[in-house]
């Protein structure tokens, strides 16, 4: 499974990249707003930091303007993936961009039917929002299972990019189902390393080592 970090925070991306936990980055207008920086400048800086895909989202709702925005965003780096909403205009833009070899991340997916449409439009990634799905009383993992089954049935190449990840269990269950990618905040990705027995064992090893009075260096 590939790990994308869902952020526009440069230090977070650098830290996760150093840890080997950043195969790509996803951004959205809300994350850019949180950074307090210029949208285009942030995307360009992120694209220059990592080799993996960087999802940059169009903000227009109509196809024609989405295409113009995508053209501008693609100038910011060779690893830019255009992010479009799962609407009819977004799907139209996805098909046009994919036909020209541009990778597209179709976002705000909440049903397997929507995911099927995105795959048929040539999306490189589909972003089902599992956390928001859970929030309204549905099981986000069932959505991932349904998409995985449909994509496997027809050998679609679209990668399942699990989004709106709230906690490590979302990542664990997505990996068990066979999702291709997960995008999560840095805090959630780093929390995967935490376990109380690891902490307990390390404390014991450290205490015993101190009693030897030895030094490796």
Give the catalytic positions in this structure.
Answer: 83
- When computed from its CA atoms, the radius of gyration of the chain, rounded to whole angstroms, is 20
Calpha distance 140→105 (Å, rounded): 19
Q: Which two tokens stand for residue 114?
A: 């929507």
Tell me, what DSSP letter sits at residue 75? Answer: G
CA distances for 55 relative to 69, 105, 124, 143, 199, angstroms: 13, 7, 11, 22, 36
Residues whose CB falls within 8 Å of the CB of residue 107, separated by 6 or more in sequence, listed in order: 28, 55, 57, 83, 84, 85, 86, 127, 163
Calpha distance 201→145 (Å, rounded): 36
């Amino acid at each position: 499974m590939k790990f994308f970090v869902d952020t526009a925070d440069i230090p977070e991306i650098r830290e996760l990249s150093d840890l080997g936990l950043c195969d790509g980055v996803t951004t959205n207008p809300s994350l850019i707003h949180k950074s307090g920086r210029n949208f285009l400048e942030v995307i360009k800086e992120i694209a220059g930091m990592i080799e993996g895909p960087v999802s940059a989202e169009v903000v227009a709702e109509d196809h024609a303007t989405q295409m113009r925005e995508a053209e501008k965003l693609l100038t910011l780096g060779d690893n830019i993936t255009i992010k479009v909403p799962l609407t009819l205009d977004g799907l139209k833009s996805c098909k046009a961009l994919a036909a020209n070899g541009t990778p597209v991340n179709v976002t705000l997916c909440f049903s397997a039917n929507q995911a099927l449409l995105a795959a048929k439009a040539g999306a490189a990634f589909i972003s089902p929002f599992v956390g928001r799905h859970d929030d309204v009383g549905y099981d986000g993992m069932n959505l991932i299972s349904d998409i995985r089954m449909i994509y496997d049935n027809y050998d679609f190449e679209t990668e399942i990019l699990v989004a709106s990840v709230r906690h490590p269990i979302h990542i664990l269950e997505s990996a068990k189902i066979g999702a291709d990618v997960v995008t999560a905040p840095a805090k959630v990705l780093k929390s995967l390393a935490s376990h109380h027995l690891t902490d307990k064992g390390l404390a014991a090893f450290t205490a015993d080592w101190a009693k030897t009075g030895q030094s490796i260096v």
